[in-house]
Each structure stands twice: as C-alpha cells, then as structure tokens.
Amino acid sequence: MGNALPQAKTNVLLQTMEKNLTQNPKISSDSEYSSSDDEVCVSKRKLDEYENKIMNQRKKIKRLQNEIEVLKSKNASLETHNNTLKEILNRDRSNAGIVESSCTEMLKELLQKTTKIEALLKTMLEEPSSRSKNKEKKIIFGSISFPEKPFLTISRRPKNSLFVKDLVSLLWSDEDLSQRSLTGKKHYNSKEIKQPLTPEKRFAIEEAFKDRLKKQQHHDATIALELKLVNRYIAEKINDVRKCNSRRNLNMT
C-alpha cells in the first residue's frame, strides 16, 4: 500500500498556493479590464472566492488524511486478524479455503480504497501548483474566464452583434452549438428538444457586453436596450452554425 503524503509537504504546498494567489494582478473595485497597463484586474469578490477555495481544499485534505489514518488502522487490524486466522487454520485446515480467501479479498478491497484516496490527495496538492505555472492571463466576467488575447481581438469588433457572436464561439464549439438551443424549449418545427446554453456562460457574455458598452460611454437606458439584443445575437449565431452544417452535409452528398 502506498504511503500517505507527509503533513509537512501538504502545509508547504498550501502555503505556496496562498502565496501564488496573493501575487495575482491588482484588484479593481468595478472588475473592469484596463488594456493600457496590460494587466488583468481581478475583483475583490473573485479573490475572496479563491481564498474560500483554499480553505475548503485545506478541509478536504485534512479529511482525506484522517480517512487514510483510519484506513491504515483498519488495515493493521485486519492484518492482525488475518495472521490470527492463519494460525488457527494451521491447526485446523478444514475451513482454510473459505476463511482465508474471504479475509484476503477484504484486504485487497481496503488496499484499493486506500490507494485511491492517496492518489486523490496527491492530485489535489499538485493541481494548484500546475495551475500557477500557467501564465496566460484571463479576463473574468461572472464565474467565467476568457483567455486574454482572443478576448482583446474580439473586443476590436466594430459591431456589437459580431462581438457577442464571437464570444459565443469562444465559449462553445460549432459542434456543440448545433446541438444546443437558446432556451431548451422545443421549437415549433423541430422534432427534438435541444439542451439549453449554459446559464453561467450566457451571463458572462451579457456582463462582457455591458462592460463594452460602459467603456463606450453609453447611457444606462441605451445599455439596457442593447442588452435585450443579446439573446437575439446568440440565436442568430446558433442558426448560422446550423445552416453552415446543413450546407456542408449537402456538399458531402
């Protein structure tokens, strides 16, 4: 059975995670991205979420370590029990096959569970470290992060409709879009009900669009009217993808 990771290593990795998070780009109260200084501003709320994730992960790691210790104790008890049974079986071999096989199977299952927990613990400790090595900057709206370079390219789109449609393509592949619908409700000329678009991603697109309109210094009333067009732009994008797929299928035939 593999050994559990030492507590000291766990603490060091958690400290590294916290240090990496505290070195994130500077905080902006309105969560707006400033392209002039080439830095991504992360909201205070997002930093709090990261800190909560660290606390929750620390609790999960502690719980897993406790479970490993319990399993180790049970394993030792089973090994002792197994040795006792073997001594008894040496004196009485009549039930050797049944009892020893049962005990061996129990030990095997326990070892498998312990190995899985140790692997999960190791993964939880290594994942934050690997994520910290990823230096690609992100632009965050709601709970969704956009890669910086593609987002800035899309932001230069002159038309609002193209801006929204390109963000849709950034979050969903054409193949996925062809199997989705805006609301998830059955269309009058459709034979099936398609899965609706992810609400969190739709909200992120709306927030990104609102941010674009604010930077263009539109009035609140104008922004409210423009935001009502988001669903229309998304629906048009889905229809464009389906039409493209239909033409492609016709050409193949």
Q: In this structure, are residues 54 and 132 in contact, taking their beta carbons and an 8 Å threshold?
A: no
Lowest mean pLDDT among 108-122, 131-145, 196-210: 131-145
Over range 140-156, report the average pLDDT: 91
**pLDDT score of 31 more than 70:** no
In this prediction, residue 176 has a pLDDT band, given cuts at 50, 70 and 90, of confident
**pLDDT score of 131 more than 70:** no
Q: How far apart are CA 209 and CA 92, in angstroms?
A: 79
Burial class from Cβ neighbours inside 10 Å (0-12, 13-18, 19+) for residue 178 reads: middle
Q: Which residues of 203-241 are buried (b: 16+ CB within 10 A; e: fewer)?
A: ebbbbbbbbbbeeeeeeeeeeeebeeebbebbeebbeeb
Mean pLDDT of the chain: 77
Confidence at residue 42, expressed as pLDDT on a 0 to 100 scale: 55
Cβ neighbors of 136 (< 8 A, separation 6 or more) are: 147, 148
Q: In this structure, are residues 29 and 58 in contact, taking their beta carbons and an 8 Å threshold?
A: no
Q: Output the pTM of the full model.
A: 0.44
Domain ranges of the chain: 7-135, 139-252
Residue 138 DSSP class: E
Beta-sheet pairing, 180-181 with 195-196: parallel
Structure-model confidence comparison of residues 41 and 234, the more confident one: 234
Over range 178-202, report the average pLDDT: 76
Confidence at residue 10, expressed as pLDDT on a 0 to 100 scale: 61
SS3 content of the chain, % helix, strand, coil (to 5): 70, 5, 25
For the stretch 206-221, pLDDT in tens is 999 999 999 999 999 9
Beta partners for 181? Answer: 196
CATH 1.10.10.2590 corresponds to the domain 139-252: yes
Share of residues in the chain with pLDDT > 70 (%): 70
Region at 27 (left for phi over 0; alpha for psi -120 to 50; beta for the rest) = beta
Kindly state the tokens that stand for 200: 């969190």
**pLDDT score of 13 more than 50:** yes
Confidence at residue 12, expressed as pLDDT on a 0 to 100 scale: 64
In this prediction, residue 32 has a pLDDT band, given cuts at 50, 70 and 90, of very low
